[in-house]
Amino acid sequence: MSAAGIPSSDTVAADTAIVLVNLGTPDAPTPGAVRRYLAEFLMDRRVVALPRWLWAPLLFCVILPLRSTRVAKKYAAVWMDGGSPLAVHTRRLAAAVQQRMPQVRVVHAMRYGQPSVQQVLEELRRGGAGRVVVLPLYPQYSTTTTASVDDVVRRVPGLAPRVIEDYHRDPGWVRAVADSIRAHWAAQGRGDKLVFSFHGLPQRLVDQGDPYAAQCEASVAAIAAELGLRAEDFLLTYQSRFGKERWLEPATALTLPVLARDGVRTIDIVCPGFAVDCLETLEEIAIENAKIFRDAGGEALRYIPCLNDAPAHADALAAIARRAMTS
């Protein structure tokens, strides 16, 4: 096994590779590690489009000193023995997909942090990979996520990878999400309302043509149809707002108290925009937003975990990758 986590060529074919790319994570739940991670993330022009002369001093002199310690404490609350939840679950998911595709290399990379997309692609090139499929673990396309991965892919010479732009209505993925909700209901009973919470995005980007919001809506419609839900059974909301400009609405954290005041006692909440559990699901939703709901008079907010390395998830991603390899 190489330093970048790439399986040795004596166990898999050397000419084809599948790269699962996730957003990224700090290396440790410490202020320094969080600061390094957030600096790389928030200096990406796809994430923050402000002029560098204006944004860099604000980021490094104000935002990072204020946020790094606070965010590190949040990471510490959900940190796992093998690293951050996003890192652990992404590694496990790549291993599960590898089991389903033994004739190709299946590896993982991070857009921010380690192992970096560029590092993994360069090692694949040196190892003789002739065909590479890059599968960003973002079911819904956005210029802030998938397009940023594509930016890095295009900077690696000597490779011409196929980048899968989205899989927001893929039947296998839709069934996997729906089945995870059914399993939750079978074990816990069905709550009064099902909330689909997606990571937010500035409204400005959607107004400029980013398809993310439309694809989130399409994902919810497909999952709801698979579950046989009525319109009044569920809601779509957006979380993780950052900054003062208008973001996609309705906001998860503002919607939950309204539901509690309207008499909704129990909420089931699922985050199908996230392939694996991470800070935004385990801390923001399952801890922080659950408290917001209870403080407003609700009884219980029950978080439905991401698909992580569930067999149905690995099956769906392997099928998506196979289609990309043959198209």
Per the annotation, binding residues are 199, 280
Annotated binding site for Fe(2+): 199, 280
234-239 vs 266-270, strand pairing mode: unpaired
Q: Are 181 and 195 in contact (CB under 8 A)?
A: no
- Tokens 């590779």 belong to 17
- Tokens 């790269």 belong to 19
CA distance 73 to 93: 26
Q: Is the peptide bond before 250 cis (omega within 30 degrees of 0)?
A: yes
Question: Would you say how long the chain is, in residues?
Answer: 327
Q: Cβ neighbours of residue 326 under 8 Å, at least 6 residues apart? A: none
Q: Are 233 and 167 in contact (CB under 8 A)?
A: no
Residue ranges in 263-310 assigned as alpha helix (H): 279, 290-295
Q: Which helix (H) or strand (E) holds 176?
A: helix 171-188
Q: Are 219 and 307 in contact (CB under 8 A)?
A: no
Structure tokens at 86: 């996003």
